[in-house]
Structure formats: structure tokens, C-alpha cells
Amino acid sequence: MAGLGAMQDWKMRITHVIDHAAREHATREIVTHWADGSETRTNWGEIHRDARRMAQALEALGIEPGDRVASMAMNHSRHLVSWFGVAGMGGVLHTVNPRLFEDQLEYIVNHAEDRVLFYDAAFQPIVDLMRDRWSTVEHYICYDPAPGSDLLAFEDWIGAQDGDYAWVDGEERDPCMLCYTSGTTGHPKGVLYEHRSTMFHAWSGLQPSAHDFDPSTVMLPVVPMFHAASWGLPYGGAMAGVKFVFSAVNEPQVLCDLMDREGVTTSAGVPTVWLAMFQHCDATGRDLPKLDSATIGGSAAPQFMIERLMKAGIKVQHAWGMTETSPIGTVGSPTADWARMSFEEKVAKSRMQGRPIFGIELRTVDLDDRTKELPRDGESSGALQVRGPWVIKRYFKAEEDAVDAEGWFDTGDVGILHPDGTLQLTDRTKDVIKSGGEWISSVELENAACGHPAVAEAAAIGVHHPQWDERPVLFVVRKEGQDVGAQEVVNFLSDKVAKWWLPDAVEFVDDIPHTATGKISKKDLRDRFADYRLAD
């Protein structure tokens, strides 16, 4: 029998997500700690009402389905309203990262052709600086103007609407969000998420081996709503009825206070966020907040961090992904043999980046011959490729696809796949150091060096060598008030990495350059030391 089955039509549009949250979890709270220190409480029912008011107000401005509407804001309830309000009227929310450099900010807003910009008062200086350079923005609306200010305030603007609004109908594959990558070379590139891709991503992320959301979850997402869709947490949280605790400031004391006071059970952030919390707890003598789990991603979670969280009884969910993968690709969670593993084995496993969540396919291919797929043997290291329903096909406004004929997207990461499906990232393809025809992982050198108590940060790059082609040089920032010499660092590394991986030189620097999303910028480091020569 040919033809369709006999089940109902239900378009995968994210309006279903907020409708469900309002219907089933209306009173579940959304708490915000604002930049001025004040706190507000709302809930999924009111977020739904305000999103409808926002959609009405956008239509009143003449915004049409498909138009881009930008936000430049920290995590808070009004930003959450915008995620659903813009998508609900068929618009595309472009979440602008305020930490981008000026020329990147100019480029992305013009490239996206944003028509409205919603922003936090804290970013008024950026708006003042960029206003004349953003050629398409017609309206500026401030989320949190100071009392008495003459700026157009978000609450007043939506408050003029009655909320009697039906979501715009459209197709599953219509766009709903635009995020730019902050690559270190060339212009940032836009990744245009769809209703359907967003829905798949959030849905798969709910599972116990990923975010593990249920209606008793209280989540404080530190990962910003302007970076890679805050890892999709606001959507998954709405599906499951999670209580969100947002903070518009990222000070560790504020975060720890909120976690303790609001009964936060889980949080998510890049390693530096967790590090800052450790430092705060050490300096003040307070205990780590009593979380059930902690998601760490964006860059590799170091061993000491995993150990400390696990010793505090906190489940570590080490995740890998990228803006191009919506962003969740893999998440670390207990494997079948978990109960039989020692503490050390669990830590070693958790240092790896976890396994693909349902929907994601991974493979590694030879770095020199991308047509040659490598075995999942826990040893072969190669270029990591990914495909799936929430993986990019083509960058926004690009002429050509970003994937090969079979849909594989080359991540630019280098990794090893283990027989149980665990991904172990070893480097970025542009950063691996090629010495005598063999690859050295710059990341492993850096991680090992960071285990030294006097090392605050380390970055390894390949420097030309007449015999070996390249040899590693390690740049090290010492911890304040600490002393360590080059030979001591090399000695420290000697039982942690292969002998031929040991750096030919260790140089001490005051700082290491970072990208706008806080990752080490190897490109800037290489530029800075372009004239560096190894001593004969």
C-alpha cells in the first residue's frame, strides 16, 4: 500500500514548545538576577503571554516572517521571551555576541540585515559606537533601562499589546535563529537554525545521557544565550518544565549565592566558569554549591576540574559541539561498565568528550586523505566529521554547501573514536604540530602543562624546524606570585607525554591571546611570534 500513514500532522515548529510549557508547566518559575542586582520572578505561563505580546508588537512595527531581529543581551527572562516571541511571529532571532570585536559586530549585523535590536543597558556603549555603522537597524529597544531613562523599554513596548495573538503558521524548515561563529580567520559565518532542527536538537538533549531534564530540574545556565543558542537549554527546559535561574552577571559569588538559595540542581558553562567558582569557594572557604550535575563544554574540561566536581558528588557531563551543530554533538554520561570502574578510570573517561546523542553521526578520516575513514579503535586520530538533522548544511547566504555529497561536515577538530562510541578530541586540524611526519597534539601538551601548580595557562604551537619540519614550543603564563622555570616544565611533562612530544622551548609570557568566546587564539599567537626561531 503506497502513500502516507494515518497519523496526525504536527509541524515541528518551536511554538509547540512554548505552548506546551504554558499548558503543562505554567507555574514553574523563571528567576532573573539583573545587572543592577534586583531580582524578578516570572513563570512559563507569563513567558508565553509576553512572547505573544512581543510577536504582536513586532508585527505592529512592520516586521515580517523571515526578517531578522537581533538581541544583544545576557541571560534573563526578557531575553527568553524574545526567543519565543520572534520565532512565534515567523521571525529569525539573531543572537549577537557583545564580546565580538568592533569590525565583527559591524559585519554580522549588516550581513544579517537585522531590522530591530533588543539590548541590555550594559551594552549601551556598544550601541552608541555602532549605531551609525549598522545600516539596516530601524528600531532599538532596551531590555532594562534605568528608571527615568527616555529609552524605549521592552516591558512598556510589549505592555501596549493585549496578547490576543495566534502564532504565525509556516513550514517546519523555516529559519528561527541565526548564530555567527567567531572564527579567528576571515569574517564570522552565520549558521541559520530551523524550527525543525531546533526541535530535534532540544528533544534529543532531554535524555538522561544528555541534559537529563525533568520537571524537578532547576537549572542555572551560565553559557550565554548569545553563544551557540545557550546549548539549546532554553528550548529543552521549556519542553521539560525546568525552573530556570538566570543571572545577567557572571560573577562567581552571585552564581554560587543563586545556586544555594534557589536550589539549583544543574548548571552548564565553559571550563573558565567552573574555575572561577572554584577560586571563589577557595578564597571564601564556602562549599561548592550542591548540584546533581554539571555540564562542561566549549573547550576541554581539565582533569583537576572533573576530579573536584566528582569528589563533591556532582555528575560531570563533558560535552562537545559547535555553533554549526546547534551545538550539542556528544555528551559524557555513564557507560555500560561505569559501576565497575575505579574513580581514576571514571575521571579518565570523563576527560573525553562523551558519546553522540541520538541523531548525531560521527566519523574520523585520515588527515591527509579525507576519503579514508579511520577505525573506531581508540587509537587512530583523524579529522572529525559529523552529520545529522541539526548539523549545518550551508552557511547563511553562502553560495555553496559546507558539506560533502554524503552530508559530512568537516568540524576542523581532530579526534579519536573509541569502540564504545566515545569521542576523544585531541586538537584542531589547524593547530596540530607535524614533526618528522608524525602528529603532535598541541592540546594534550597544554593540558599536561596546566597540571603544574605554578602554570595558569599554556599554549603550544609548531615552529619551523629544518630537520623535523615543525617542533612544539610551549608558551606559559605563570600563576600570580608563582615561579617555575623552563626546564622544570619540561621535566614535569616528561612522564605525561611521549618523549618526542616534549617542547623544544618553553617561553614565559604575560598573556595568551583569546578569541571573543574565550578560547585560545592560536592564530594570534602564531602571528605574535611569527619571527620566533628555535635556538640552534
Contact positions vs ligand AMP (CB under 6 A) = 181, 228, 297-300, 318-323, 327, 353, 411-413, 425, 428, 517
Residue among 237 and 297 whose Cβ is closer to ligand AMP: 297
Separation in Å, CA 245 to CA 69, 70, 128:
25, 23, 30
Closest to ligand AMP by CB, 329 or 472: 329
Provide CB contacts within 8 A for 338, sequence distance 6+.
Answer: 346
Among positive and negative, which fits the CA dihedral 308, 231, 95, 189?
positive
Q: Cβ closer to ligand AMP: 413 or 446? A: 413
Q: Closest approach of Cβ 300 to ligand AMP, in Å?
A: 4
Grouping H, G, I as helix, E, B as strand and the rest as coil, residue 288 is: coil
Between 77 and 426, CB nearer to ligand AMP: 426
Only one residue has cell 548525531, namely 360
Cα–Cα dist 139/91, whole Å: 15
State which residue, 63 or 178, has the beta carbon closest to ligand AMP. 178
CA distance 75 to 314: 24
* Smaller CB separation from ligand AMP, 42 or 204: 204
Residue 446 identity: E
Of 329, 235, 245, 328, the residue nearest 21 (C-alpha): 235
CB of 296 to ligand AMP, least distance (A): 7
Residue 392 has which C-alpha cell?
A: 549545518
Least distance in angstroms from the C-beta of 318 to ligand AMP? 6
Provide CB contacts within 8 A for 192, sequence distance 6+.
92, 175, 177, 178, 396
Question: What is residue 131's DSSP assignment?
Answer: T
Q: Which is nearer to ligand AMP, 90 or 321 (CB)?
A: 321
Q: Which is nearer to ligand AMP, 114 or 444 (CB)?
A: 444
Q: C-alpha angle with apex 450: 339 to 286, nearest 5 degrees?
A: 70
Distant-in-sequence, close-in-space partners of 26: CB < 8 Å, separation ≥ 6: 43, 44, 45, 48
Cβ nearer to ligand AMP, comparing 56 with 182? 182
State the nearest-atom distance from the C-beta of 108 to ligand AMP, in Å.
14
Q: Which amino acid does the sequence have at 245?
A: V
Which amino acid is residue 424, in one-letter code? Q
User: Can you list the alpha helix ranges (DSSP code H) found in 206-342?
Assistant: 233-240, 252-262, 271-284, 303-311
Q: How far is the CB of 526 from ligand AMP (least distance, A)?
A: 17
What minimum distance in Å lies between the beta carbon of 520 and ligand AMP?
11
Who contacts 481 (Cβ-Cβ below 8 Å, separation ≥6)? none
Nearest distance from C-beta of residue 467 to ligand AMP, angstroms: 30
Q: How far is the CB of 515 from ligand AMP (least distance, A)?
A: 8
Query: Edge-to-edge strand order for the sheet containing 423-428?
Result: 361-365, 381-387, 409-417, 423-428
The four Cα atoms 498, 504, 508, 513 give a dihedral, to 10 degrees, of -80
CA-CA distances (angstroms) from residue 533 to 2, 119, 162, 242, 316?
Answer: 70, 46, 68, 54, 41
- What minimum distance in Å lies between the beta carbon of 299 and ligand AMP? 5
Amino acid at 337: D
Whole-angstrom distance, CA of residue 216 vs CA of residue 222: 19
Q: Which of 278, 298, 275, 297 is nearest to 286 (CA)?
A: 278
Which residues are marked as active site? 181, 324, 434, 439
